Structure 1
Amino acid sequence: MWMYALHGLDELHLDGPLTNEVSRSATLDSFRELRALRVLTLHSNLTKIPPSVVDVALQLQRLCIYNEVGCELERIPSAVFSLNNLQELDLKENKLTTVEEILSLQHCRRLVTLRLWHNRITYIPDHMSKLHSLETLDVSWNKIRKLPSRMFYCTKLRHLDVSHNQLTSISSEVGILQGLQFFSAAFNTLETLPEELFSCKRLKTLLLGNNCLPALSSRVSNLAQLVRLEIKGNRLESLPVEIGDCPLLTVSGTDSGRQPAGPAALGRTKQVE
């Protein structure tokens, strides 16, 4: 009970079995007196948001809920939508199958980071585009087969991770993300890439490994700020010579046994995996 008297506490991480009912699990009393609390992480087996979290809804800036195997949380809890000051929401390792209600997150006007990784999500709804403030979106390790083109109208995105899904293509609208700095589409089944991807001139990290790509566009030379390029595990026979025009590139990967298209293809890169 002494925890509830820590009126100056601004960050709280709870790991273990939690419940709102009397049982062998720990119970959560009201957080109402924790007026300074800004960050809350719950690593447990919750099936719904505890009322104690709602008590601090107006002041939380970051909420992370990680659940153990066997959790039945299949939708984003409605209580989250009242967290008006929320800046980061992390729902890693739940059993989310749909995020259709994600539209309600538009009321969290300060939300800049949304992590839905390691779930069972099969599709992303078009109204994802309503989350205008998003800068980081991680939907990796799901079962997504297609990304809606309107998702790329989240124009403030700087970090986008769609790796470890079942994607066969990327919409040309990806080129709208002129502020994009990190993009990972590794471990999918991509056979082509839209040329518009190479108009995202602020890209610093581009991870495309373990797909079915037969070639890399010569427009890679547009990515003057590129520091890391990962393309191993594809069907590449060679790298375009224009890759040498990426002056900051330090890591480039290609299939084992494949050879670059000559020394010029490596440019100033320091390592080839």
Structure 2
Amino acid sequence: MSEPLTPAETLARLLSGRLQGATRLDLRGLGLTELPPEVLALADTLEVLDVSGNALVTLPEQLAECRRLHTVFASGNRLAALPAVLGRLPLLDTLGLKANFIAEVPPEGLSPSLRWLILTDNRISSLPDTLTECSRLQKLMLAGNRLRRLPSALHRLHRLELVRLAANAFERAEDALPDALLALPRLAWLAHAGNPFHATREQAAVTTAGQAIRWHDLQVGERLGEGASGHIHAARWNQPDGPPLDVAVKLFKGAVTSDGLPRSEMAATLAAGRHDGLLGVHGVIDGHPAGTPGLVLPLLGSAWSPLAGPPSMASCTRDIYAEGQRFAGDRALAILRSAASALDHLHACELSHGDLYAHNLLVDGRGGALLSDFGAASFWPVNDPSRAAALRAIDRRALTVLADEVAARCDVPEAVRQATA
């Protein structure tokens, strides 16, 4: 099998006419200021186009001729408006425009066929009502914008399962969390932290709930992994009042992630405290030389790993389990009971997890399970019992999805489903 082409090699072949019949184009990070016209020569075959990490300020109107195009990524460019031409792509399923300068979303720019829309980290202050005509929409990523309200008629988005509204400009809970959104029948993963109506509570959690751990008391070692919000390193914590302790250090890698803000994740992690079903936290890093925010977490042994992999482009909102993966009945029950107990604890702290997935559930192969990653976690609105009840139900729906996935890979499926009922 030949090695895949690099973006530079792809561009060279495209320009020389040697990509006739191609269905995918990877033109990432090439410094392009406009889409090469040769792309349009593939109008009859092109299905996936990735032009992320360039310097594009628009997309050509002729792109609408690519009638088979179902996936477009143009993140990290210089777009000031969502290109209206995208709304004329009849099969457009997935659109990623993260980290541009988009302030305007024209009504005609949203194709009704959209299933997955990523507009994270832009400058959008309002969305057109045509968003609610995207009846296939399952995943809506809007963190890191300037939204103050959502379109009306959200009840039309009955297939919507995951929504990210964190780090916007919502002053009131009822604007970020309108009844029509909370009542959507399939909504299971929702993030809304880092908005003005959360500011006081998040600040209080960081300043009162967390132990400050000095950077110079940490000996940071190898990188263990990377998530949406940060890098995880092994480290030794030289405790001032105790013996050295092996820990994990999470250093946040950006101002805005797909889920929200580092400070919101820190606040939720600290407010959740300790519980047998949570990974837990030792404290907040103080005095990093570059000012990088971070958390000091327990270090797990090599036996621990995620229960499944994160969703793929095709699965959209569903985790990917290993082929043929099966669970013994007692182990499956232990995992689900631990997850349910951890979720009950968070709800008692007036927190939603917002991302209860198998890929955020660490297991040790013997039935031990720890819920981790608070990147999408959010406090419940203060003195608002109806919204609290709705947010609780949304998290529980995610738990039901998890139970169904595990039950499908277990010899006692009904008992596993009942474990979270």
The normalised TM-score by structure 1 is 0.71
On the 8 A contact 1:201/1:222 being kept in 2, the answer is no
On the 8 A contact 2:64/2:85 being kept in 1, the answer is no
Q: Specify the alignment match of 1:210 in structure 2.
A: 167
Identity %: 26
3-state SS of 2:163 partner: strand
Quote how far apart the aligned CAs of 1:258 are.
Answer: 5.6
Q: Structure 1 CA distance, aligned partners of 2:45 and 2:58?
A: 24
**Letter matched to residue 91 of structure 1:** V
Q: Specify the alignment match of 2:55 in structure 1.
A: 95
Q: Specify the alignment match of 1:160 in structure 2.
A: 117
Quote how far apart the aligned CAs of 1:220 are.
Answer: 2.0
Please list, as runs of the form range in 1=range in 2, the aligned pairs for 1:255-266 lying within 5 A after superposition: 259=382, 261-262=384-385, 264-266=389-391
Q: Is 1:63 the counterpart of 2:25 in the alignment?
A: yes
Q: Is 1:138 the counterpart of 2:96 in the alignment?
A: yes
Q: Structure 1 CA distance, aligned partners of 2:396 and 2:142?
A: 23
Quote how far apart the aligned CAs of 1:173 are.
Answer: 1.2
Q: Structure 2 CA distance, aligned partners of 1:81 and 1:162?
A: 25
Counterparts in 2 of 1:52 and 1:168: CA distance versus 1, 3 Å:
closer
On the 8 A contact 2:166/2:193 being kept in 1, the answer is yes
Q: Structure 1 CA distance, aligned partners of 2:29 and 2:41?
A: 21
Q: Is 1:104 the counterpart of 2:96 in the alignment?
A: no
RCO higher in 1 or 2 (8 Å CA, sep ≥ 6)? 2
On the 8 A contact 2:182/2:391 being kept in 1, the answer is no
- How many residues end up aligned between the 2 structures? 217
Where structure 1 has 5 or more consecutive residues not aligned to the other structure, the ranges are 1-7, 15-41, 239-248
**Letter matched to residue 220 of structure 1:** L
On the 8 A contact 1:157/1:177 being kept in 2, the answer is yes
Q: Structure 2 CA distance, aligned partners of 1:125 and 1:131?
A: 11
3-state SS of 2:127 partner: coil
Q: Specify the alignment match of 1:37 in structure 2.
A: none
Give 2:40's match in structure 1, choosing from 32, 56, 81. 81
Q: Is 1:230 the counterpart of 2:191 in the alignment?
A: yes
Q: Write out per-residue CA displacement over residues 36-59 of structure 1, whole angstroms, 9 at most, x where no aligned residue.
A: xxxxxx1x4x9x942455534332
**Letter matched to residue 261 of structure 1:** D
Q: Specify the alignment match of 2:350 in structure 1.
A: none
Q: Structure 2 CA distance, aligned partners of 1:79 and 1:135?
A: 23
Q: Structure 2 CA distance, aligned partners of 1:167 and 1:179?
A: 22
Q: Which has the higher helix share?
A: 2
Q: Is 1:118 the counterpart of 2:76 in the alignment?
A: yes
On the 8 A contact 1:195/1:217 being kept in 2, the answer is no
Counterparts in 2 of 1:172 and 1:94: CA distance versus 1, 3 Å:
same
Q: Structure 2 CA distance, aligned partners of 1:151 and 1:266?
A: 31
Q: Is 1:197 the counterpart of 2:164 in the alignment?
A: no
On the 8 A contact 1:206/1:228 being kept in 2, the answer is yes
Q: Structure 1 CA distance, aligned partners of 2:138 and 2:51?
A: 23
**Letter matched to residue 78 of structure 1:** P
On the 8 A contact 2:112/2:135 being kept in 1, the answer is yes
The normalised TM-score by structure 2 is 0.47
Give 2:12's match in structure 1, choosing from 50, 54, 58. 50
Counterparts in 2 of 1:178 and 1:207: CA distance versus 1, 3 Å:
same
Q: Structure 2 CA distance, aligned partners of 1:170 and 1:108?
A: 26
Q: Structure 2 CA distance, aligned partners of 1:120 and 1:223?
A: 34
Counterparts in 2 of 1:181 and 1:266: CA distance versus 1, 3 Å:
closer
Quote how far apart the aligned CAs of 1:259 are.
Answer: 4.0
3-state SS of 1:173 partner: helix
**Letter matched to residue 84 of structure 2:** D
Where structure 2 has 5 or more consecutive residues not aligned to the other structure, the ranges are 202-353, 357-375, 398-421
Counterparts in 2 of 1:259 and 1:74: CA distance versus 1, 3 Å:
same
Q: Specify the alignment match of 2:145 in structure 1.
A: 188
Counterparts in 2 of 1:53 and 1:253: CA distance versus 1, 3 Å:
same
Q: Structure 2 CA distance, aligned partners of 1:227 and 1:265?
A: 11
On the 8 A contact 1:260/1:266 being kept in 2, the answer is no
Q: Structure 2 CA distance, aligned partners of 1:219 and 1:105?
A: 35
3-state SS of 2:28 partner: strand
Q: Specify the alignment match of 1:20 in structure 2.
A: none
